[in-house]
Amino acid sequence: SCYQCSVRCPAGIDIADMMYALKRYSMWKGQYKEGLIGPDFSEAFVKMIVNSGRSFEPILAATYLPKYSARDIIREGLMATGLVLSGKMPLLPKKVKRLKNVQRMVRRIIPIGETK
């Protein structure tokens, strides 16, 4: 989000953060339109953070790339190859120190495993 709506709101309401909160809540309750990339992406992102302590784009891409066309997948693959070859994206994610602490923190913030 560009947060322009939040900055310009005369009532001082943080509209962008409110929209993000509503999105997270609807995903948590399972109330969203089928076929969207966002919910699958967000769920995979949170699981990745809980399991490894960090985000790693090549693994995360597997959650949303199947919903794209073959041309888009090839374009993403070429971009990823360029990032790896230029050293901007590693082939394997780096380990996180004190992973258990990160996992505990994330579980306190995000309602993982709670019933809908």
pLDDT digit string (tens) for 74-104? 888 898 899 989 988 888 888 888 989 888 8
The counts of H helices and E strands in the chain are: 6, 0
Amino acid at 83: L
How would you label 62-88 residue by residue, b for 16+ Cβ within 10 Å and e otherwise?
A: ebeeeeeeeeeeeeeeeeeeeeeeeee
Domain with 39, as residue range(s), is 33-116
Q: With beta carbons less than 8 A apart as the criterion, state whether 37 and 67 touch.
A: yes
Most confident among 26-30, 44-48, 74-78, 92-96 (mean pLDDT): 74-78
pLDDT exceeds cutoff 60 at 115: no
pLDDT exceeds cutoff 60 at 116: no
Q: Are 25 and 69 members of one domain? A: no
Q: Are 95 and 56 members of one domain? A: yes
Q: Are 17 and 37 members of one domain? A: no
Q: Which helix (H) or strand (E) holds 47?
A: helix 37-52
Q: So what's the pLDDT on residue 113?
A: 53
Q: So what's the pLDDT on residue 86?
A: 93
